[in-house]
């Protein structure tokens, strides 16, 4: 890989009391590329993903974004610097409309609410929300309540919410979990479209999908880095086959 890394971890370790969830993990997320994180259950994927998205602070080691250390920032500060995360469990306001969900996200990131906010700002927020809905293919559902969307549509809406801060790095936690094959195709086509203008990090269990869309794959095992490489390098690595690929995962 010749691309400059937009985000790197250097010797990152995370401990919870006497339990070490991740140990000495050093990897790169290359700018403009799709990097996936895989590993068996208990490999430390979720903990590692929570560290690079700002939910957890590393116990030791360093997280660098655009060459600057960010491991000590609060989670909302990650959104401000250009890192946004879409959660594994749908995280929406079910009683608000599709448009309102995205507008609220845009508004929260762009303004501190006060009663003197000019009406023109509200129009700007709505316009941006509309553009994001068009991007994820939900413009025709703008006035529907979020709770009335199909599961796949809710995941598309959550991605629109995650895009409200114009992230340079979009992190997606199992975006196709629980989806039908058709819904999965829709989400993956959306992810590839988004990749044209930003960097994407992905945790996903569907190996066939991962191998087909990833530029780089991070393989974790028992909290440690087993390897990082291209899909072909990962598929052909004997140790990866032994601990993961050879266990019937698809």
Q: What domains does the chain contain, in order, with CATH numbers?
A: 1-74+197-250 (3.40.50.300)
Beta bridge pairs of residue 173: 203
Average pLDDT over residues 224-232: 97
Digit-coded pLDDT (tens) for 61-79: 999 999 999 988 988 899 8
Average pLDDT over residues 95-102: 96
* pLDDT for residue 123: 87
* pLDDT for residue 246: 59
Nearest to residue 213, comparing CAs of 223, 221, 222, 204?
204
Position 192 pLDDT exceeds 90 = yes
Q: How far apart are CA 161 and CA 129, in angstroms?
A: 9
CB 244 within 8 A of CB 221: yes
Counting beta carbons within 10 angstroms of the beta carbon of residue 16, is it exposed (0 to 12), middle (13 to 18) or buried (19 or more)?
exposed
* pLDDT for residue 129: 96
Position 117 pLDDT exceeds 70 = no
Taking the alpha carbons of 50, 228, 210, 139 in that order, is the dihedral positive or negative?
Answer: positive
Position 245 pLDDT exceeds 70 = no
* pLDDT for residue 41: 87
The model's pTM is 0.89
* 250 pLDDT tier (thresholds 50, 70, 90): very low
Average pLDDT over residues 17-38: 97
* pLDDT for residue 119: 55
Average pLDDT over residues 152-168: 94
Position 134 pLDDT exceeds 60 = yes
Average pLDDT over residues 120-130: 87
Share of the chain above pLDDT 70, in %: 90
Position 143 pLDDT exceeds 90 = yes
> What residues contact 142, with CB distance under 8 A and at least 6 apart?
97, 98, 99, 130, 133
* 90 pLDDT tier (thresholds 50, 70, 90): low
Position 120 pLDDT exceeds 70 = no
* 3 pLDDT tier (thresholds 50, 70, 90): low
Instruction: Output the average pLDDT for the chain.
Output: 90
């Amino acid at each position: 890989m010749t691309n400059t890394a937009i985000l790197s971890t250097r010797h990152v370790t995370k401990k919870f009391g006497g339990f070490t969830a991740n140990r000495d993990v050093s990897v790169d997320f290359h700018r403009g590329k799709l990097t996936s994180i895989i590993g068996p259950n208990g490999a430390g994927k979720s903990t590692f993903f929570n560290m690079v998205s700002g939910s957890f602070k590393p116990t030791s080691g360093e997280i660098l974004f655009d060459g600057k250390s960010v491991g000590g920032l609060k989670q909302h500060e990650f959104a401000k610097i250009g890192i946004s995360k879409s959660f594994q469990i749908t995280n929406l306001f079910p009683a608000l409309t599709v448009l309102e969900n995205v507008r609220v996200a845009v508004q929260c990131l762009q303004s501190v609410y006060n009663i003197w906010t000019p009406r023109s700002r509200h129009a700007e927020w709505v316009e941006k929300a509309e553009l994001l809905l068009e991007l994820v293919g939900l413009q025709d559902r703008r006035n529907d309540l979020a709770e009335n969307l199909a599961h796949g549509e809710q995941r598309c809406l959550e991605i629109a919410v995650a895009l409200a801060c114009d992230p340079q790095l979009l992190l997606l936690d199992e975006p196709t979990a629980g989806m039908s094959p058709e819904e999965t195709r829709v989400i993956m086509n959306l992810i590839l479209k988004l990749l044209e203008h930003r960097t994407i990090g992905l945790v996903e269990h569907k190996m066939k999908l991962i191998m087909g869309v990833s530029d780089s794959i991070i393989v974790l095992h028992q909290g440690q880095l087993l390897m990082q490489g291209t899909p072909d390098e990962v598929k052909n690595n004997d140790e990866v086959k032994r601990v993961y690929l050879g266990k019937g995962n698809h």
